[in-house]
């Protein structure tokens, strides 16, 4: 299927590895020119190199903290490097993403811990929408995909910072997505279940440390608890993200798409 994205531009955050990288890879394969962002420059440059080798779109790396105003300004300005200066240089697609907050016991979290989680996993995504959405409206096309978490539907207490911040973002999106819909702009959230990434390994380690058991036993238990008896692959996640950004997904708006192989035990 041609996703109709050839020549579009994308900002993909948290994209040096894991789910963000997979989203960038799937979009670039469709001919999207992308700015990819992560904090650590070496891994990011390597990711950009691999994506540029892969083709078909062009990739520029911007090493920046997307949760900081200064980092967002530099990432957003890089749209101009994808297009000649005369052209309208806004992004057609924005994938918001950053590392999840630490796991733990809510009794140990201070207001500062909460403010950090809210900034990284809620407010930075809202700021990116604020900076890009009016350009999308003016051009009559826009796709925003926020990578959130299965925690929005099925919270676990040790990921309380994630539950709170991501539900805040989800509530915000539910409102603004309806406002922009008449202009060809969609905003959806993509909720990862358990995908085999560095983040997943870190979460398993945190649970293993808390419970004093080997990390392999946590891993095996989670795999067995999933409906598919396996973890998702980042490629499966990227493919869904690319479809949500495609011209075929113009009627998909304000949704929370849970990608967990059917593990969430509800009818809806």
Binding site for ligand NAP (CB under 6 A): 13-20, 37-40, 43, 65-67, 97-100, 120, 147, 149-150, 192, 194-195, 197-200
CB of 237 to ligand NAP, least distance (A): 8
| Of 74 and 199, CB closest to ligand NAP | 199
CB of 55 to ligand NAP, least distance (A): 21
CB of 87 to ligand NAP, least distance (A): 26
| Of 9 and 148, CB closest to ligand NAP | 148
CB of 196 to ligand NAP, least distance (A): 7
| Of 161 and 187, CB closest to ligand NAP | 161
In sign, the C-alpha dihedral spanning 261, 22, 101, 219 is positive
CB of 14 to ligand NAP, least distance (A): 3
Which two tokens mark 105?
Answer: 């016991």
- CA atoms of 89 and 84, how far apart (whole Å): 8
| Of 180 and 187, CB closest to ligand NAP | 187
| Of 120 and 187, CB closest to ligand NAP | 120
């Amino acid at each position: 299927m041609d996703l109709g994205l050839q020549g579009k531009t994308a900002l993909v955050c948290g994209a040096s590895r894991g789910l963000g990288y997979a989203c960038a890879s799937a979009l670039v394969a469709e001919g999207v020119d992308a700015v990819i962002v992560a904090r650590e420059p070496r891994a990011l440059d390597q990711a950009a190199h691999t994506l540029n080798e892969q083709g078909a779109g062009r990739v520029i790396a911007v090493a920046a903290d997307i949760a900081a105003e200064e980092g967002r300004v530099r990432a957003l300005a890089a749209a101009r490097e994808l297009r000649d200066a005369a052209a309208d240089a806004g992004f057609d697609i924005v994938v918001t993403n950053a590392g999840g907050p630490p796991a733990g016991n809510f009794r140990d979290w201070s207001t500062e811990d909460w403010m950090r989680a809210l900034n990284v996993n809620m407010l930075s995504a809202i700021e990116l929408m604020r900076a890009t959405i009016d350009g999308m409206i003016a051009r009559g096309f826009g796709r925003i995909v926020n990578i959130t978490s299965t925690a929005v539907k099925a919270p676990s207490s040790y990921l309380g910072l994630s539950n709170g911040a991501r539900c805040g973002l989800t509530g915000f999106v539910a409102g603004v997505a309806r406002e922009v819909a008449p202009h060809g702009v969609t905003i959806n959230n993509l909720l990862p279940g358990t995908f085999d990434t560095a983040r997943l390994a870190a979460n398993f380690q945190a649970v293993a440390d808390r419970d004093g058991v080997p990390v392999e036993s946590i891993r095996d238990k989670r795999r067995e608890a999933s409906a598919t008896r396996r973890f998702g692959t980042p490629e499966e996640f990227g493919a869904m993200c690319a479809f949500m950004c495609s011209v075929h997904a113009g009627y998909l708006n304000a949704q929370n798409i849970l990608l967990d192989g059917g593990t969430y035990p509800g009818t809806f």
